[in-house]
Structure 1
């Protein structure tokens, strides 16, 4: 059963280049994970510093493995999250 994650990230416009670079690097690492089925990064139209991420994994265990990966800690926890002014995440299971 697929497990999807939709994340909305917002940062100050001055931090947008650093967040964008980290997210694009994260995309490459995540797409190489065995359980990853999709990882898309979008800049929110007309919202400087706004990003939308869509992620899909084979199952919830695949997502948990993603969160445990060293690149998640380095790129998301240590690089992106400290630069965010707002973050919301929605989790969903396929029917």
Structure 2
């Protein structure tokens, strides 16, 4: 499993109102990802148990070029431009795949 590129992003949201608006922004963005990004293997938004003002994204791409293609999409640019108004913090961890099990590509 030498290919693959991923990241985990932890977003800290200002308050419940910001969390609701951020979730709407995520839903809109996910529609674009589902329809226009074949190199995006996994893109999942999580709420950690007991942390209602935190969202964790897990993203896995075929390779770094697929991630860069994701970043260039209009829906991603919109998300990046709009998200700041809802946040009190963000932490990004980039991941290089060294092994594991992945679902078969269709």
TM-score, normalised via structure 2 length? 0.81
- Aligned CA-pair RMSD: 1.2
1:47, CA displacement in angstroms? Answer: 1.7
Cα distance in 2 between the residues matched to 1:73 and 1:5 = 17
Cα distance in 1 between the residues matched to 2:7 and 2:33 = 13
TM-score, normalised via structure 1 length? 0.90
Indicate whether 1:23 and 2:20 are aligned. Answer: no
Q: Which runs of 4+ in 1 moved over 4 A?
A: none
Deviations 1:51-78 (Å, cap 9, x if unpaired)? Answer: 000011000010011111110111x222
Name the counterpart of 2:103: none
Deviations 1:7-65 (Å, cap 9, x if unpaired)? Answer: 00011122011101111222222233020100101112222221000011000010011
Unaligned runs of 5+ in 1: none
Give the number of aligned pairs.
94
Asked which structure has the greater CA Rg, the reply is 2
Q: Is contact 1:31–1:38 with CA below 8 Å preserved after alignment?
A: no
